[in-house]
Amino acid sequence: MTRASHWSGAVVAVWIAALCPEVRAQSAEAEALFRDGRTLIKTGKLAAGCDKLAASERLESSIGTLLNLGDCREKLGKLASAWAAFRKAEAMARRSGSEDRRQGEAGRRAAALEPRMANLVIDVGHRVDGEVVRRDDEVVDEAGWNTPLPVDPGRYTITAEAPGHQPWQTTVAIEPGTRRRLVEVPGLVPTEPAPVAATSSPWPPPRPELVRRAPSPAPRGTWTALREISATLAVAGAGALGTGIYFGVHAHNLSDQADVRCPGAVCNDPLGLRFNDQAQTSASRANVLYIAGGAALVTASVLWFVGAPGEVAVVPVAARTSAGDQIGLAMAGRF
């Protein structure tokens, strides 16, 4: 590192310290993590220091912690993460109404990063019903499709899946210095339905004949009519609960994305507002599905026990006597 680089880093560190001398976390855990992070950064352990600051910020968010975190991530080359930290610090300072100096510094640092950040565009040209796109383990909302989204350098796995279709996956590398990377998601290929085995029946059908004695009643199995209904309700209830869990996770992911774009109480970011609205809608759907699925499972349990097989069967009886052919009914079973 040149002497000029040393001076540049020192100036930035002094400027951050001057902006945040009085800022300390309120909780003991967050304060300890903040101090450890600053110490590690001063000794040149940037990655470990950033992790400590990020943990402190998760416990208790503050303008000073965010400014230090943004500065640390910028030094690591994680420009998108640094930009998000500066923007969040700017919003917090604006809400406080008395942090004009730090608000201006956070906004200036974020604006300086924007021309240098990498953007990933996930182009979904041929959409299918129920399609879900993920970047690593994070669901990319439909509002973020075909839109440049800031990302840090690294390798990302892009997947797409939909009911009744074969999943698709690819890996993309974002190198330092990349400004824009396009990933095109092809139309998903439908899965072929399983072949149905053909059944044959004799033709013409056999002629019915009278029997001389009543047949023994066939034993009734476990699957009575009520139990078949019970099984159907159980499958439907489990499906509703599973879908509710999906919408719950989807709502949580959308809420996190909305918080990144709109960390404050007031938001002017259209995409952030849309993320928030979609998170509320997904949460409402999840609640409805939880109730419906639970009710279906309870009803299925009751029907299963009520529909236990009985011990008596009624069967037809036909006989040939001297008076002629006679037909009637008989009851068989244990009483």
pLDDT digits (tens, 9 = 90+) for 106-120: 999 999 999 999 889
The answer to which of 29-33, 57-61, 293-297 has the lowest mean pLDDT is 293-297
Strand extents, DSSP E, the chain:
118-124, 132-135, 138-140, 149-151, 154-161, 168-174, 180-185, 312-321, 324-333
Res 217: pLDDT: 53
Length of the chain: 335
The model's confidence at residue 283, banded by pLDDT at 50, 70 and 90, is confident
CA distance 147 to 160: 16
Residue closest to 56 by CA, chosen among 42, 44, 43, 39 = 39
Residue closest to 141 by CA, chosen among 277, 9, 24 = 277
Res 317: pLDDT: 55
> Would you say residue 129 has pLDDT above 80?
yes
Res 120: pLDDT: 92
> Would you say residue 21 has pLDDT above 50?
no
Kindly state the DSSP code that residue 202 receives in the 8-state scheme.
Answer: -
What CA–CA distances, in Å, run from 195 to 163, 188, 198, 300?
Answer: 19, 21, 9, 31
Q: Between these two residues, 288 and 205, which has the higher pLDDT value?
A: 288
| Cβ pair 158, 133 in contact under 8 A | yes
Res 70: pLDDT: 93
Q: Tell me which amino acid residue 186 is.
A: P
The model's confidence at residue 334, banded by pLDDT at 50, 70 and 90, is very low
Res 271: pLDDT: 74
pTM: 0.47
> Would you say residue 8 has pLDDT above 50?
no
Mean pLDDT of the chain: 78
Q: Between these two residues, 171 and 299, which has the higher pLDDT value?
A: 171
The answer to which of 4-8, 97-101, 222-226, 302-306 has the lowest mean pLDDT is 4-8
Res 205: pLDDT: 59
Res 79: pLDDT: 92
* pLDDT tens digits along 50-78: 999 999 999 999 999 999 999 999 999 99
Res 56: pLDDT: 93
Res 135: pLDDT: 93
Res 83: pLDDT: 94
- Ranges 89-93, 192-196, 239-243, 309-313, most confident: 89-93
* pLDDT tens digits along 209-253: 544 555 555 555 666 777 778 788 788 878 877 887 887 888 788
* pLDDT tens digits along 191-206: 977 566 555 555 655 5
Res 285: pLDDT: 87
> Would you say residue 38 has pLDDT above 80?
yes
